Amino acid sequence: MTTNENGLREGEIDIINNFTRRKLAPEEVFVFSLVLCDNEIDRDHERFSEDALKKLETLFCGVTGVTDHDPKAGNQTARIFSCRTEKVPGKKTSYGEDYVRLTARAYMPRTDGNSEFLMQLDSGIKKEVSVGCSVAKRICSICGCENGSCGHVRGRTYDGKLCYMTLDEPTDAYEWSFVAVPAQKGAGVIKSFKKGAVDTMDIEKRLFSGTAQSFTADELNILADNFRTLKEKAADGEAYRRKLEADISKQAAFALPQLKRDTLDFMTRKMSAVQLEDLCKALCAKAAKNVPLRPQLCAEDKKDNKKYNDYKNI
Ligand SMILES: [Zn+2]
C-alpha cells in the first residue's frame, strides 16, 4: 500500500472529502491509524464480542475524537473516516479465541498549531486511546446471564474460571480520545451502557478508586443524580440533627444545670444522630425527675410523665 508524506493511502483523500465542507488537498491533512478496541479481556474484566467489534466499525465511522485531555494543551480534533476489524495472525486471546481488533483511520487538518502534536503521533508517543460507546448487553462468562442480574463478580474466579463480561450489541459510539499519559492506570477502553442497564456499582468503584478516571456523559448523569439525592438526604439529616441538639440543650438546662453550654456543644458536635437520640432520651428522663412541674415532658418517658401527673393531682 502506498502512502504519501502525510500518511495518506491511495484513495483516502476521496473518502475524507465525504466528511469535509470543502474539498481538502492531500497536503492539507494528516492521517494516522489507531486501534480503538479489541476482544481481549481488559483491566475492567470486560471484552467486546467479535460481533460487537463488527458493528462498531460502522458506528465509529465519522466520529470525532479529542486528541488531548489536557485543556491547556489546546485540544486537537481528528475524525475517523474508516474503520475495520482485523484478526492478528497467530495471536490468541487469553481465553483462547482468535484475537480481533477494531482499527481506525483518522484525519486532522494540518495547521501551524498542531505540528508538535503531529510529530508526537509520528513518533508513536500518543497511541493509547479510550473510547466511549454504549452497549445493550453485557454477558456473564460464568453463567451467560445478561446485565449483571446473576451476582457473579467480574475479576473473581468460580471453580477456576475467571468471571468477565462480554460486551455485545453496541448501540452508539460517541467519542474517542488519546489518553494524555499513556502509561496511566485506568487508561484504555471506557464503556458506558444504555440507561437503565448501567452498572452503578462499577461507576462508584471507579469514582473511589483513587486513580484518574474518565466518565461518559451517561455515567456523569448517574453520578450527578446520586449526588443530588445524597445532598437532599444530608439536608434532612442535618435538620433532624439540629432539632435533636436544640432538644438536648433544653433538657440539659433542667437535667444538668451545672453543665456549661460550651461543654455540651463540644460533646454533641462529635456525636452521631443515634448517640444524640440516646443522650436526648437520658436527659429527658433526668430532667423529668429534677423538675416534675415542668410543663412539657418527653413523650417517651411515660413513667416520669405519670409521676408528673401524680404530683399535679396532689
Ligand atoms: Zn453470572
Mean pLDDT of the 51-65 span: 94
| Lowest mean pLDDT, pick from 12-16, 67-71, 99-103 | 67-71
Q: Separation of 103 CA from ligand 1 center, angstroms? A: 30
| Distance between CA atoms of residues 240 and 234, nearest Å | 10
Q: Separation of 209 CA from ligand 1 center, angstroms? A: 24
Q: Separation of 151 CA from ligand 1 center, angstroms? A: 6
Q: Separation of 265 CA from ligand 1 center, angstroms? A: 52
Q: Separation of 165 CA from ligand 1 center, angstroms? A: 9
Q: What is the pLDDT of residue 187?
A: 39
Q: Separation of 48 CA from ligand 1 center, angstroms? A: 17
R_g over Cα of the chain: 31
Of the spans 16-25, 54-63, 225-234, 239-248, which averages the highest pLDDT?
54-63
| Between residues 236 and 141, the one the model is more confident about | 141
Nearest CA-CA partner of 295 in 260, 257, 250: 250
pLDDT over threshold 80, residue 67? no
Q: What is the pLDDT of residue 233?
A: 79
pLDDT over threshold 90, residue 144? yes
> Do 292 and 307 contact (CB within 8 A), yes or no?
yes
Q: Is 37 exposed, middle or buried (0-12, 13-18, 19+ CB in 10 A)?
A: buried
Average pLDDT, rounded, for the chain: 79
Q: What is the pLDDT of residue 68?
A: 57
pLDDT over threshold 70, residue 70? no
Residues 220-250: pLDDT tens digits? 877 887 788 788 878 888 888 999 999 999 9
Q: Separation of 138 CA from ligand 1 center, angstroms? A: 10
Q: Separation of 187 CA from ligand 1 center, angstroms? A: 26
pLDDT band at 85 (very low <50, low <70, confident <90, very high): very high
pLDDT over threshold 50, residue 304? no
HEC states along the chain?
Answer: CCECCCCCECCHHHHHHCCCCCCCCHHHEEEEEEEEEECCCCCCCEEECHHHHHHHHHHCCCCEEECCCCHHHCCCEEEEEEEEEEEEEEEECCCCCEEEEEEEEEEEECCHHHHHHHHHHHCCCCCCEEEEEEEEEEEECCCCCECCCCCCCCCCEECCEECCEEEEEEEEEEEEEECCCCCCCCCCCCCEECCCCCCHHHHHHHHCCCCCCCCCHHHHHHHHHHHHHHHHHHHHHHHHHHHHHHHHHHHHHHHCCCCCHHHHHHHHHCCCHHHHHHHHHHHHHHHHHHCCCCCCCCCCCHHHHHHHHHHHHC
pLDDT over threshold 60, residue 63? yes
Q: What is the pLDDT of residue 100?
A: 93
pTM exceeds cut of 0.75: no
Residues 254-295: pLDDT tens digits? 889 899 989 999 999 889 888 999 999 999 888 887 765 444
Q: Separation of 214 CA from ligand 1 center, angstroms? A: 27
Q: Is 71 exposed, middle or buried (0-12, 13-18, 19+ CB in 10 A)?
A: exposed
Mean pLDDT of the 86-112 span: 90
Q: What is the pLDDT of residue 37?
A: 87
> Do 251 and 283 contact (CB within 8 A), yes or no?
yes
Q: Separation of 153 CA from ligand 1 center, angstroms? A: 8
Residues 181-195: pLDDT tens digits? 443 333 344 444 443
pLDDT band at 34 (very low <50, low <70, confident <90, very high): confident
| Distance between CA atoms of residues 89 and 67, nearest Å | 29
Of the spans 114-123, 171-180, 189-198, which averages the highest pLDDT?
171-180
Q: What is the pLDDT of residue 290?
A: 74
| Distance between CA atoms of residues 253 and 259, nearest Å | 8
Mean pLDDT of the 154-179 span: 89
| Distance between CA atoms of residues 91 and 88, nearest Å | 6
Mean pLDDT of the 44-65 span: 93
Q: What is the pLDDT of residue 274?
A: 87
Q: What is the pLDDT of residue 186?
A: 39
Q: What is the pLDDT of residue 313?
A: 36
Q: Separation of 40 CA from ligand 1 center, angstroms? A: 19
- What is the distance of C-alpha 229 from the center of its chain? 17
